[in-house]
Amino acid sequence: MKIVGLTGGISSGKSTVSSYFRQLKIPVIDADEVARKVVEPNSQGAIEIRKAFGSDVFEEDGSLNRQKLGALIFSNAENRQKLDDLLQPLIKIMILDEIEEYRQKGETMIVLDLPLLFEKHYEELCEEIIVVYIPKELQLERLMKRNQYTKQEALSRIDSQLSIEEKRKRATVLFDNQGTIQQLYQQVEQWLVETKNDILQ
């Protein structure tokens, strides 16, 4: 089974490519979805967060109050690291379990949709790494427009990730998203034609 990593910078179009893979019936493991699962009420992640940050960051029904937790970690690097240390091992276990499930089902290819693919060293699991690329200036422009951020707010989020140029250097496949959505889809389709031929040989 071919494991393909998919990443990009914030607002680069990675989620658009991920959704398109799903439309084309290619299995996708989404790290953001996994991260939500590991903090569901009564999960190991929720128990660990309660121990580390107290009950204040939870609602009465046991669900996580992301806004309160975000306020604790966004402005405090030590808290952010503490949360990362708690959750990343749980996320990795779940991702590995999902990979194994797809392997058992006999899938020929799956996509790992991971914003922090390089930062968390998932590249060692992948045969190929797709980076959805736009230059930083366009990233900034799109993020400010999409989330109504000030320039400083947008920059702080872009700069919290590995730079898009560094990701570009490490890619084995590059999808350039400076054009239309249709042009992006064409790049995906072209790559799939080449890849499926490769798998079938």
CB 39 within 8 A of CB 27: no
With CA atoms as reference, report the closest residue to 28 among 20, 36, 37, 39: 20
16 labeled part of a ligand binding site: yes
136 labeled part of a ligand binding site: no
54 labeled part of a ligand binding site: no
11 labeled part of a ligand binding site: yes
Convert 136-158 to b/e letters by CB count within 10 Å (16 or more is b): eebbbebbbeeeebeeeebbebb
14 labeled part of a ligand binding site: yes
13 labeled part of a ligand binding site: yes
Phi and psi based region of residue 106 (left: phi greater than 0; alpha: psi -120 to 50; beta: remaining)? left
Count of alpha carbons within 13 Å of 129, Cβ hemisphere only? 21
Count of alpha carbons within 13 Å of 125, Cβ hemisphere only? 24
Three-state DSSP class for residue 175: strand
Query: Residues annotated in the binding site, as ranges?
Result: 11-16
Binding residues for ATP: 11-16
